């Protein structure tokens, strides 16, 4: 089942992230997809703030993976946009079972190595105005379905 949400502002996107964070669990994987500037990093910043991450969260475009250990659970923030065929050689899959929460920007670029159970969130800019986004959330697996039922 897909859930469609309209976000009219960054504040709405942050609120969605906070709601999802409220149902967090160990080894959670959140896959973010959407065009440049569609809200992926805004979502991640909102999620990290709700997780009580102390550090400033920025897009890990040039690092690929940033680890934040200061929150309630470790947060592994990935931006896989710049990956090429080396994705299998850098150990991305290891993060899915390290006990933290993995948030992956541009996750559609590594679909072949994503875990079967995950939460996919697709951001699409609306034609209405520059702030409005159509967000489609698809849970894969019982835990993610329960999460969506609880917060959406």
pLDDT, tens digit, 9 for 90 and up, residues 100-130: 999 999 999 999 999 999 999 999 998 878 8
Could you give all domains of the chain from N- to C-terminal order, each with its CATH number?
3-151 (3.40.50.300)
Q: Which two tokens stand for residue 127?
A: 């034609």
pLDDT at 142: 97
Of the candidate ranges 25-39, 56-70, 137-151, the one whose mean pLDDT is the lowest: 56-70
What is the rounded distance in angstroms from the CA atom of residue 15 to the CA atom of residue 109?
26
Residue 83 pLDDT grade (very low, low, confident, very high; cuts 50, 70, 90): confident
The conformational region for residue 5 under phi > 0 = left, psi -120 to 50 = alpha, else beta, is beta
Number of helices (H), then strands (E), in the chain = 4, 7
Residue 87 predicted with pLDDT over 70: no
Using pLDDT thresholds of 50, 70 and 90, give the confidence band for residue 28. very high
- 3-state SS class at 145: helix
- pTM for the model stands at 0.94
Gap between the Cα atoms of 93 and 140, Å rounded: 17
């Amino acid at each position: 089942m897909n859930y469609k949400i309209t976000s009219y502002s960054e504040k709405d996107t942050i609120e969605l992230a906070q709601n999802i964070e409220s149902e967090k669990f160990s080894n959670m994987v959140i896959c973010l997809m959407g065009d440049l500037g569609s809200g992926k990093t805004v979502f991640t910043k909102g999620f990290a703030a709700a997780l009580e991450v102390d550090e400033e969260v920025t897009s890990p475009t040039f690092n690929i993976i940033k680890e934040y250990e200061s929150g309630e659970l470790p947060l592994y923030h990935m931006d896989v946009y710049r990956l090429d065929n080396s994705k299998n050689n850098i150990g991305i899959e290891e993060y899915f079972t390290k006990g933290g929460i993995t948030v992956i920007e541009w996750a559609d670029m590594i679909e072949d190595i994503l875990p079967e159970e995950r939460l996919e969130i697709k951001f699409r800019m609306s034609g209405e105005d520059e702030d409005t986004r159509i967000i489609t959330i698809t849970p894969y697996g019982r835990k993610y379905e329960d999460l969506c039922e609880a917060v959406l």
